[in-house]
Each structure stands twice: as structure tokens, then as C-alpha cells.
A and B are shown apart, each in its own frame.
Chain A
Amino acid sequence: MTDISVRPTIGSTAPPAEAVRPRMLLVGTSLASAATFMGFLALIGLYVGFRQDVIATGETWLPSGVVIPLTQPNMMLATWSLASTAVIWAIFSMRNDDRANTYIAIGLVMVLGFAYIAQTAYLLSLMDMPLYPTGDNELDLLQRPPLFYGIIGTHVVMTLVAMGYLALTGLRSLGGQYSSRDLEGLYGSAMFWMTTYGAYLVMWFAIYITK
């Protein structure tokens, strides 16, 4: 029997290799996705609560002169839907060991991800919402535009992480780590991508639609 208790010479501070177990990465990603989604939902919950407080006073939630247009959020929703379809395309391609289609699909997701970020920047420039209170009146302090930016910024960060994760698993697929026999990495990145998509759906309805 091999004595595996002996500390290896190279990388002596390295952890022992984990036993090969199925779905470990998927389990970890699921838990991380759940944590991220809860945090995002909490932000939206607080936003809705603050908005309700202001509306209850008879005032408008958005600062005067600020309008949230619908075209851009709807286009972003379409972008997300397309990108998510492309993620599924990547997985199905890899299941069939069709690497060419996998890379095209992942590349498309990346392009659409960047498109979403560009659209968000464009939307924010259209809205031109002040970041700091414009006056000393109480309503200015209640409307909290930074909260709006905070939620959108959080989602952009989530998108960047999802893109990075997908790019990483894509590169590892390119290196041969993932194939039709082992799709765990792609499943994991797809799960986080879908979580981010779900977060956008919540944001789209709670912020862009109901304003």
C-alpha cells in the first residue's frame, strides 16, 4: 500500500490532491451562486423598501428630471436571453464533443456580456442621475441615487465574474480538461451565468419596469 501520508517534496505546503469526486465544483458553485443571489435579492429588497417609503409621502421616487427609459433595459433583457441561450449551446456542443461550436458559443457569450455592460453604461448616461444630493431638502436625502448605482454596479460585477468563470472553463476545455465525459466546469460556469441572468430579471422588473 502506498504511504500517502508523507509530505511531498515539491510544493510542500500544497494541499493533498482531492480525491476525484463528481460534482464537487458544481456543488461549490451552487452554494456560491445561492450566496450571491441572496445578497442581490437583499439589495433589491432594501431598494423597494426605501422606494415605498418615499412614495408613501406622496413624492416621486426618482429625482426630478430623471427618467428611466424602457428601450435599453428591454434590449439588455434580450441580450441576456440570447447570451444564456448561447451558454446552453456551448454545453450541448461540448456534450457532443463539438469543440468548434463550443468555442463559437462561448465567444458569443463574451461579446454579448460586453454588450450588456456597454448598454448599461449608455443607459446610465441617458438617465444622468445625480450621485450626490442636489440640495438640502429632505427628499433629496430620501431618494438615495447611490443605491441605484450600487445595485447596477453589483450586477455588472456579477456579470464580469460570470464572464471570467466561463472564459476560464472555456480555456480549460481548449486545453482538453473538459469534454463530453466531464462537463462539470462548464456546468458550474453556466450555473453562475444563469444566476446572474436571474438577478437581471429581478432587477429589470423591480427597478426598470416598476421604476
Chain B
Amino acid sequence: MSNELASTGVVDRTLGTGDHKTVGRLWIFSGLAVGVAALVLRLLAALEQLDAGSVALFEDLDEFVQVWSLSRDLLIFGGVAAVLVGLGTFIVPLQVGANTIAFPRGATAAFWVWAASLLMVVASYIGNGGPGGGRVDFVTLWALALGGMLFALVWALICIASTVLGARAPGMTLEMVPVTAWSYLVFALLGILALPVQMAQLVIAFLDVRGGYMPIVETTPLSAVMDTITLAPSVYWLLIPTLGIALDIIGVHTGRPLRFHRSTLVLIGLLGLTAFGASVTAFGGRRGSVDFNNAFMVLGLLESVLPLLGALALGGESLRSGTPSFRVPLLAGLTSGLLALGGATLALLGAVEPIVGFFAKLADRTPDVPDVLTVNGTTFNAGVTAAIVTAALVGAVAGLQHWGHKIWGHQMGEGGGSLAVLALAGGGMVWAAGEVLGGLGDQPALPAVADLDANMVTIGNILVVAGVAAAAAGVALALLNTAMSGVLGRGSVAEPWSGRTLEWLTDSPPPFANFESQPVVKSASPLDHMDRSPATSTPIPEEVTA
């Protein structure tokens, strides 16, 4: 058998894999690489914005719009979402005690559909397509290809959600599901319900351009098609797994699992519900009463802060009562949580205008909002998105550092990890601050080289350049660190820390079918009831063998 095994090459094992662990690694690597590329493109767009009132780097304004929208779509659907899906594809089956992901071939196909669609998205822009594009075929290819990426993400999320719902280890009720796996369930359900709405909008864009109902010289507004899910509070969708990962890490690195497990699950669910409600409202807001929808959006923004605060408070309780080991995963997890809270709180500033407008309407008065807070329609919203996306990226890096040993069999470098988190978090904050400052200086949200010379906008644009550059360096460092462990096999092979959930029961990396035999779960901390060996090879205790 061993000779035949040796004949199976790396390419064969990678391209034709049905193993969720390999698929997860593919998602993670590709997501990080695409994330770096997206941020480099965003940096180019930011450099162009430095010189307001003229187009220097690009040929014309349309080209600027193309680069800007490509960077946004790649960052969210090609970078952050892909890394998060990759982590989920790898970790969730292990956490729930499944020997594979549900519909493993489907999970593999989802990755390849995503990858092919991603290449087509890039090709469409190269051929002068996408928002701001000038050729019908390539603009419609953009709509199709981006729709393909969303379709693939939905497909991958169906596999993850089905794993949590239908492949849990015997004894594991839904309320015993680990925090990360639960957050992935909420993330997946939300994506399954919200992403098809985006796909429908892309279908409309396709039909409008193909049918000649949107003149090809006026395709810039297409960049707003994805606003429904790339702006707060809908973009909080990306925070849900991040929050789960951060809380899981806190539990492991303080030696104190979250005391109120069920409450944590409820809070994560609430965050998901809010993000979904906001997503639907944002969609309806295109058509319904502006005041009514604004009120809902405000409610969504408020409701998102509360579960975030609550969940972080529960994590804080573990920090207080446990013995925290402040290593990279914990620090990154905490940074991610705080960034998320910061972004969500920042979004509330943008809600002042609709709140005042709503109550003024009720009282039949003219709304009186200070100019500095009339930020809707400016880059302020992009600032909130920058904060949220950075929080999600830092959370993903935290997850990679935490489970790196499980994923690659080698502990990921702490130095590289620290630098990546530092650059990413610092850069993200500066980037968000720059966008917000630009927004307060009235810079329009739709990418445009406006005739602006206000100091606030200029300083904001400089901050955006610095922040995006640092964030790009952070993701590049994370990619490098991952490659060092994953490809070059650098790093310690000894298991660095151990948690109480099922992924820590098996070897690192886990064997072909994850567990030597089916574990049986008795509580939300299943390993508390199992006799564990600390070595890399973990024998399954007899009491849990089926």
C-alpha cells in the first residue's frame, strides 16, 4: 500500500482532494494572497486620491473607479471571507467531532468555483469591465463572475452549516456546540440568506447592461451594487466568526472556558440576527420610506453594539478569573474584538443624522443636524467598513496563530505573527481614521476625484495611504508566516496549548478521518470528561470510543 500511496503526488492530492483539511488550507492560502493583492490595489487608489482634483496615476476617472471597486470586492469576497471560510472548513468539522465536512466533494467544488470566478473577475477588469468599464462583454462578465464567487461562498457555507447541524458527535446538542463552530453556523446561515440577495442585484446589473438599459458609458453606479453588504451594519456579517474565534481563544488561553456558554451563543446569534435584519433593511431601503428604513438601520447599528459588548464582557470575565497567557493568539483575539467594537461604535456616529431626521419627522419639524455629523454619502461609511474588515482580518490571523499547529503540524512563528497583527491592526485603525476624517471633510463616498482642497480631506487621504500600506504589509506578513509553517515546515512540532474542545483531542495535523474513533460528548467542554495525553499523538480514551 505504501508504494501506491507514494505515487500519489502533491498536485493530485491538492487538486483532487476531498479532504476538508486540504480544502481549508487552499482557502486560507488563497484568501491571504488575494487579501494582499486587494490591499495593494487599494493603496494605488489611495495614492491617486492624494492629489484631489486631478487624475495622475490612472488614465481617467473610470479606471480609478475600476481599481477602487476591484480592490473592495477582492478584499471582502476574495480575501476576508475566503480566509474565514477556510478556517471554518478546517476547524468546524474537528470541533463538532465529525470525521469530515458535510458534502466534502461539494466543499472542494465550491473552492474551485470560487477560484475560477475570482480569475474571471480579474480578467473582466483587465478587459475594461466592472463598474466604470467601457466594454459590454466585460462588464457583464464582471457581474457573472462576481455572482460566481458569491455562489461558491454560499455553497461552502452550506457545507459548513450542514456539518454543524447534521454531523455533530453523538451527545453534542446544539447548546454544547463550541463557540467557534456556533459562530460559523450563524455566519453560514446569514451568508446563505444574504448573499443570494446580492446575486440577484448582480443579475439585474447583468440584464441592464446586456439589454442596453444602462448605457455602457455610465456604468460607474454599478460600484454601488455591492454596497448592500459591504457597508455597516450588513458588513458585521464578517464579525460573527471573528467574535467566535476570539472568544474561543480567550477560553483556551486563560485556562478558563467561558462561564456562560449558552449566553455567549445567544449573543452571537443576536449579532447575526441584527446583521441579517440590517442587510434586508438596507436592501429594502432602496425602495421604501427613507425614514422608516433609516429607523431600522439605526436599530440595527445599536443592536449590533450591544451583543458585541455583551460577548466581549463574557470574554473579559474569563480573562479576570483565569490565568491569561498573553501570547499572540490571545492578543490578536482581543485586538480583533476591540477593533470590532470600535468600528460598530463609530458606525453609531453616522446614525445621528437619521436618528435626528426620524424624530424631527415624527414631530413634524425640520431636522437640525450639525454639519460635522451629516456624514452619510461620504467616505465616513468606508471608514467604518475599514475598521470592521480589519477586525475580521485580525481575527482570522488570531485563528491562524491559535490553530496553526493543528492546521500545519508546526507552530506558527510568534514574531511574525506579532508583527502581522501589529501592522494590520495599526494600519487598519489609521486607514479607518483617514476615511472618517475625509468623510467629516465631506469627501464623497462614490470614488471620485472631487475638487476638494479642505485640509481635513487631505490629511485623511494621507492617513488612508499610510494605513492601507501598513495593513497590506500586515496581511503579507501573515501570508509569509503561514507559508513558513505550512510549506517550509518551520516551527515547533510540540502542541503549544490545548483546549477543551474536540479539535484538541486529535493529532496535529489530524489524520485522514480526523479521529481514530468517534468521540462521545457529554458537555460543552468535552475534553474535561476525557483523560488526555499532552503529547502530539493523542490516544483516544476508552470512555469516548464508540
Give Cα A204 to B380, complex, Å: 42
The interface residues of chain A lying within 8 Å CB-to-CB of B516 are 1, 3-5
The interface residues of chain A lying within 8 Å CB-to-CB of B67 are none
Chain A, residues 20-34, CB within 8 Å of chain B (1/0): the string is 011110011001101
The interface residues of chain B lying within 8 Å CB-to-CB of A4 are 99, 512-513, 516-517
The interface residues of chain A lying within 8 Å CB-to-CB of B165 are 27
Contacting pair A35 B1 (CB below 8 A): no
B365, CB-defined interface residue at 8 Å: no
Closest chain B CB from A117 CB (angstroms)? 20
Contacting pair A15 B20 (CB below 8 A): yes
Number of A-B contacts (CB under 8 A): 149
Residue ID in chain B nearest A16 by CB atoms: B513
Contact A13:B199 (CB < 8 A) given known A28-B158, A45-B283, A49-B287 = no
Q: How big is the A interface, by class?
A: 35 or more
The one of B192, B194, B208, B287 in contact with A52, judged by C-beta atoms closer than 8 angstroms, is: B287
B171, CB-defined interface residue at 8 Å: no
Chain A, residues 22-62, CB within 8 Å of chain B (1/0): the string is 11100110011011101110110110010010000000000
State which of A94-102, A119-127, A140-148, A159-167 sits at the interface with chain B: A140-148
Give Cα A45 to B201, complex, Å: 10
Contacting pair A9 B4 (CB below 8 A): yes
Contacting pair A23 B213 (CB below 8 A): no
Contacting pair A35 B212 (CB below 8 A): no
Closest chain B CB from A210 CB (angstroms)? 16
Give Cα A149 to B213, complex, Å: 14
Contacting pair A43 B203 (CB below 8 A): yes
Contact A19:B99 (CB < 8 A) given known A132-B211, A145-B211 = yes
Give Cα A6 to B513, complex, Å: 8
The interface residues of chain A lying within 8 Å CB-to-CB of B17 are 13, 15
State which of B50-58, B102-110, B264-272, B398-406 sits at the interface with chain A: B102-110
Give Cα A132 to B213, complex, Å: 8
State which of B5-13, B31-39, B524-532 sits at the interface with chain A: B5-13
**Which 4 residue pairs are nearest across A and B when measured between Cβ atoms?**
A15-B18, A5-B511, A39-B196, A15-B104
Query: Can you list 5 A-B contacts with CB-CB less than 8 angstroms, sorted by A residue number?
Result: A6-B512, A7-B512, A15-B101, A15-B108, A46-B204
A interface residues (Cβ-Cβ under 8 A, vs B)? 1, 3-7, 9, 12-19, 21-24, 27-28, 31-32, 34-36, 38-40, 42-43, 45-46, 49, 52, 131-133, 141, 144-147, 149-150, 154
